[in-house]
Chains A and B, each alone.
Chain A
Amino acid sequence: MNYTERLENVSVLGAAGKMGSGILLLTAMEMADLSLVPGNKDRQFVLNAIDISHQALSGLMRFLRTQVQKAAEKKTVQLRKIYEERRDLIENEEIIMQYVFDVLNIVRPTTRMEAAYESTLVFEAIIENPAIKVEILSGIDRNNKKTPWFFTNTSSIPIHELNNRAELGGRIIGFHFYNPPAVQKLVELIKADKTLDDLVEFAQNYAKNLRKKIVPSNDFAGFIGNGHFMRDALHGISEVERLSKEIPFVEAVYMINKISQDYLVRPMGIFQLIDYVGGDVCQYIMSVMNPHVKDEDLHSRLLDNFISAGIKGGQFADGSQKDGFLKYEKGKPTGVYDPGKKTYVPAAEFQSRCDERLGAMPSSTLPWKTVIGSQDKTALLERFFKELTGMNTMGAQLAVRYGQRSMEIAKKLVADHVAQCEEDVNTVLLTGFYHSYGPINDYFK
């Protein structure tokens, strides 16, 4: 079975979810592009969008139409060539609308898992729960006579565990997109010990056609991305616990969030990132990873307390940010949750006091956005960190501790053979987390 044949009948499980919808979008366009190759005219391409609610599937179709149209608007130059023979399609608008129809016409939204029984490729993006994943994947495999291949978007569960428990005989690979899949260039590709070579080759081709950057990760719980992020988050939390012995909790959260954003030149502070991903999701990922790590405890009691109090973060259906550790107005943090008072304290009440305590920022400080967009990025960062590491302020000290811990985590991922090399860890943080520099660097010596 060649690449095209493999993609003639595909199912995406959890297709209406945050990750699933992006995976469905990219796969639908890849399949449509194949269907428009002249030699494939007689092939029938089917993409089952499987999810549990009709309402969510209806929303998915709206999302797809908007996104496919946007993508088509960006590749109209190529689309005019693809539809060259269609004499009835003359203007860009006619061509774009035809493409939108051709993509959507491949997608079959359904709530019935049975649709996947005909598929040669099944992409799962369902809840991050090993037992549920195993049950569903093995169920499909038992009823599907086409010996399908499975892609899993898990960000934490070892692939060999899914393979063994669902008895898939090596027909599974970890294909971990970053959120949102349509935008983020990074894919972590995780091959289990028994994963078939043909499947690996197919996955590489598929990623290439989707114009994704592959970073191979070895098959350890959490892989590279969450392997770094979860430990980095735990460091932020433990710094808050340490500081809050001396100063109010909300001030400690504010300060560490500021350190991990402004001082480390990252796109968002660590508590904003936890809120973005969802505190409950982080808690769950840690619980999946923890049994697989021997020499450390990936768990936070503080996080548990927040989740039990219902303070979780995450996003509303329209994509806007829910309150978590931080309170948000129009997407910007404006306050910090005080678990003692069970309410948010506006940052205005303590911000200037905290900034004063952290001390002056280096004169060469620049916002992350400026740095990341600059052609002189390395020079800007070198100057900034040289100045920062020469300072004796509390802010500078906390930042250096943070940067050093981030490097330690990254190096351990290589030492533990999760990542194959230091460069791969840096690529994941640069590409998947939009950091302006990799965690393994010379800045914090």
Chain B
Amino acid sequence: MKLRRKVYMVAGYNTISMGTGRNEFNPKKTRPGLENYIKEAGQAVLEKIGGAQNVDDCVIGNFMSARFNKQANLEAFFPMIDEKLRYKPGISVEGACASGGLALIAGIKSVLAETAEVVLTIGVEVQNSVKAIYGADILAGAGWFQERKAGHAYFFPGKFSDRAGAYFEKYGRDNARKAFARWYRNAIENARLCPTAQEYHNKIQDLEALAISEPTPAAFVDHLNVYDCSKVSDGASAIAIVSEEGLKRLGISKHDAVEVVGFAHVQDDLTRPPDDLTQLKTTAVAAKMALESAGISIRDLATVETHDCFTVAGIMAAEAIGFAEPGQGPAFVLDGQTSRTGSIPFNTTGGLIGWGHPTGATGVHQAVTIMEQLTGKAGNAQISIPQNRPYGLSVNMGGDDKTLVSVVYRKG
């Protein structure tokens, strides 16, 4: 697939990913709500692009505000961000934890369809409104509701625990568990370099020793501990998706933007159990399609943002994208290849485990992170981008490998 026009992303912004771990977080005190996050992220992007009059179209990605915050019709919050957005078009998209990715896709398509030159794209989720045990009910909506009754109290940790169990059985437990702990350590160490990350304040010294602790099935799930899981997060991310003409309108140089050189959006049947618990097949399909559409291979990538809602998902994604053969993901991670100094740095600001996972915002957050890395704006988290490998890849997953969005970026 060759894109019929050039598409760029510019002016990305992340709010803090708020939740346990942040010093400011106090579950007993009133916190900013959905509106505050939408406004903060939206206004920050508008400021960078010279104001709301430059915006043609708006997209907001969100998973479950209808339950977390009893709020729907989110597109009508755009005029609250800036009065100049009144009477402009806006849509709200939902695809579980890939809602942010879907927002990117909707923005890209709007630019490709020439219905807009500049699309303000936001992802948001505010989940600390309920305790985790009730949040688990809400997030279970990303699965098939007919499976809820038989599912675990912590539905998705349960699903990925089953995957981890199957993986242990097929490829051995010890190395896989060690790799989970290393994945956690990489995530936290990267998050400590990014001031908006939920684990930015994490001061624990021996991260791997902590993360290797045994799971406690009576209170949680069989094969994962809490360090294997992304946390409950509140946050929003926003970015402008623009055409070449849009860039001119904004007066922004291509060098400050990333170009979207390929993308894929696929889904699998929600009612169908995974063919193989040890593999993320839909992820593999999406990443392959995105890379093919960009005309590149994984050897051209400088960095990857992948959907590590659980450590096991991060490692299986490394295999699915093609960096390691099935069963070799743990060795690849333990060898240091995915660390920020490795051959292919993954999740350079911490990913879902380290930066945070405000579900509907995650897909947009991945795009912002890659934009920052490729344009040299990642601050202390900056990695070096080799000239012969100038590409970045994001993989955003909704549900248990059901809804997938993958995007390939290059510096503009």
Partner of B134, one of A74, A90, A93: A93
A96 at interface by CB-CB < 8 Å: yes
Residues on the B chain within 8 Å of A79, using CB? 153
Query: Which of B136, B152, B153, B219 gathers the greatest number of chain A CB atoms within 10 Å?
Result: B153
- Say which residue of B131, B149, B152, B217 sits within 8 Å of A87 (CB atoms): B149
Interface check A296, CB cutoff 8 A: no
Q: A73-B131, A87-B149 are in contact. Are A92 and B219 (CB under 8 A)?
A: no
Tell me, rounded to whole Å, the shortest Cβ–Cβ distance linking A349 to chain B. Answer: 32
A317 CB within 8 Å of chain B:
no
B133 interface residue per 8 A CB criterion: yes
User: Closest CB of chain A to B122's CB: distance in Å?
Assistant: 29
Closest Cβ neighbor of B220 among chain A residues:
A77
Q: Is B88 an interface residue (CB 8 A)?
A: no
* Known contacts A90-B148, A90-B149, A91-B148; A78/B131 CB under 8 A: no
Q: Does B137 reach chain A (CB closer than 8 Å)?
A: yes
Does B218 reach chain A (CB closer than 8 Å)? Answer: yes
Which residues on B sit within 8 Å (CB–CB) of A96? Answer: 133
Give Cα A92 to B138, complex, Å: 10
Known: A91-B137, A92-B137. A77 touches B153 (CB 8 A): yes
On whether the beta carbons of B136 and A92 are closer than 8 Å, the reply is yes
A354 to chain B, nearest CB (A): 33
Taking the closest CB of chain A, its distance from the CB of B143, in whole angstroms, is 12
By CB atoms of chain A within 10 A, which of B131, B133, B148, B217 has the most?
B133
Task: Number of A interface residues at 8 Å Cβ cutoff, please give it.
Answer: 13
CA distance A92 to B140 in the complex (A): 11
Q: How far is the CB of B155 from chain A (nearest CB, A)?
A: 9
In chain B, positions 119-170 with a C-beta closer than 8 Å to chain A are 131, 133-134, 136-137, 140, 148-149, 152-154
The secondary structure that dominates the B interface is loop
Distance (whole angstroms) from the CB of B279 to the closest CB of chain A: 27
Q: Is A76 part of the binding interface, using a Cβ–Cβ cutoff of 8 Å?
A: yes
The answer for the CA separation of A77 and B153 in the assembled complex, in Å, is 5
Asked if A80 is at the interface of the complex by the 8 Å CB criterion, the answer is yes
Cα–Cα, bound, A93→B153 (Å): 10
Nearest residue (CB) in B for A88 is B149
> What is the total number of residues of chain B having a CB less than 8 Å from a CB of chain A?
15
**Contact status B133-A73, CB under 8 Å:** yes
Say what secondary structure dominates the interface of chain A.
helix
Quick one: which of A82-103 are within 8 Å of B by CB?
87, 90-93, 96
Whose C-beta in chain B lies nearest to the C-beta of A87? B149
Which chain A residues lie closer than 8 Å to B140 at the CB level?
A: 91
Q: Mark B206-249, 1 if CB is under 8 A from A, else 0.
A: 00000000000111100000000000000000000000000000
Would you call A77 and B218 a contact (CB within 8 A)? yes
Identify the closest chain B residue to A96 (Cβ): B133
B137 pairs with A77, CB closer than 8 A: no
Residue of B nearest to A86 (CB): B149
- Chain B residues contacting A80 (CB-CB under 8 Å) are 152-153
- Are A92 and B149 closer than 8 Å at their CB atoms? no
**Minimum CB–CB distance for B369 against chain A, Å:** 33
In the bound complex, do residue A77 and residue B131 qualify as a contact, i.e. CB atoms below 8 Å apart? no
B147 to chain A, nearest CB (A): 10
Contact between chains at B148 and A76 (CB < 8 Å): no
Q: Cβ of B133 and Cβ of A76 under 8 Å apart? A: yes
Residues of B within 8 Å of A93, CB to CB, are: 134, 137
Min distance, Cβ A239 to any Cβ of chain B, angstroms: 38
Cβ contacts under 8 Å, A73 to chain B: 131, 133
Kindly provide the distance from the CB of B200 to the nearest chain A CB, expressed in whole angstroms.
23
A77 contacts across to B, CB distance below 8 A: 152-154, 217-220
Least CB distance from B278 to A in Å reads 25
- Please, which residues of chain B bring their CB within 8 A of the CB of A78? 218
> What CA separation (Å) do A30 and B131 show in the bound complex?
25
Rounded to whole angstroms, the CA-CA distance of A242 and B49 in the bound complex is 75
Q: Please report the C-alpha to C-alpha distance between residue A91 and residue B148 in the assembled complex, in whole angstroms.
A: 7
Q: How far is the CB of A370 from chain B (nearest CB, A)?
A: 14
A414 to chain B, nearest CB (A): 37
Q: Determine the residue in chain B with the shortest Cβ distance to A70.
A: B131
- Would you give the 0/1 interface string for A51-77, flagging 1 where the beta carbon is closer than 8 Å to chain B? 000000000000000000000011011
In the assembled complex, the Cα of A382 lies from the Cα of B376 at a distance in Å of 52
- In the assembled complex, the Cα of A73 lies from the Cα of B135 at a distance in Å of 12
Report the bound CA distance from A90 to B149 in whole Å. 5
**Which of B133, B217, B218, B220 is in CB contact (< 8 Å) with A92?**
B133
Q: With CB as the reference atom, state the residue of chain B lying closest to A76.
A: B153
Please report the C-alpha to C-alpha distance between residue A79 and residue B136 in the assembled complex, in whole angstroms.
15
Q: How far is the CB of B56 from chain A (nearest CB, A)?
A: 41
Q: How far is the CA of A159 from the CA of B176 in the complex (A)?
A: 57
Docked complex Cα distance between A205 and B52 (Å): 69
How far is it, in angstroms, between the C-alpha of A90 and the C-alpha of B220 when the chains are bound? 18
Output the nearest chain B residue to A80 by Cβ-Cβ distance.
B153
Bound Cα distance from A74 to B136, whole angstroms = 13
Q: Which residues of A contact B131 (CB under 8 A)?
A: 73
Assembled-state Cα–Cα distance A396/B153 (Å): 53
Tell me the minimal C-beta distance from A176 to chain B in angstroms: 28
A-side contacts of B153, CB under 8 Å: 76-77, 79-80, 92
Report Cα–Cα, A74/B154, bound state, in Å.
12
Which residues from 326 to 348 on chain A have a C-beta closer than 8 Å to any C-beta of chain B? none
Report the minimal beta-carbon distance from B371 to chain A, rounded to whole angstroms.
38
Chain B residue contacts of A76, Cβ below 8 A: 133, 153
B128 to chain A minimum Cβ distance, whole angstroms, is 15
Within 8 A of A (CB), among B170-206: none
Residue of A nearest to B216 (CB): A77
A94 and chain B: residue at smallest CB distance = B137
B244 to chain A, nearest CB (A): 49
Q: Which residues of B contact A74 (CB under 8 A)?
A: 219
Closest CB of chain B to A327's CB: distance in Å?
25
CB contacts (< 8 Å) of B219 on chain A: these are 74, 77
A105-129 with Cβ < 8 A to chain B: none
List of A residues within 8 angstroms of B148 by Cβ: 90-91
Cα(A74)–Cα(B153), bound, Å: 11
Complex Cα spacing A77 to B140, Å: 15
Cβ contacts under 8 Å, A87 to chain B: 149
For B133, what are the chain A residues with a Cβ–Cβ distance below 8 Å? 73, 76, 92, 96
Report the nearest A residue to B131, measured CB to CB.
A73
- Smallest Cβ distance from B141 to chain A, in angstroms? 10
* Interfacial chain A residues near B152, Cβ < 8 Å: 77, 80
Query: Min CB distance, B144 to chain A, in Å?
Result: 12
Chain A to chain B contacts (Cβ below 8 Å), 14 pairs: A73-B133, A74-B219, A77-B218, A77-B219, A80-B152, A80-B153, A87-B149, A91-B140, A91-B148, A92-B136, A92-B153, A93-B134, A93-B137, A96-B133
11 new A-B contacts, CB < 8 A, other than A73-B133, A77-B220, A91-B137, are A73-B131, A76-B153, A77-B153, A77-B218, A77-B219, A78-B218, A90-B148, A91-B148, A92-B134, A93-B134, A93-B137
Closest 5 CB pairs of A and B: A91-B137, A76-B153, A77-B153, A73-B133, A90-B149
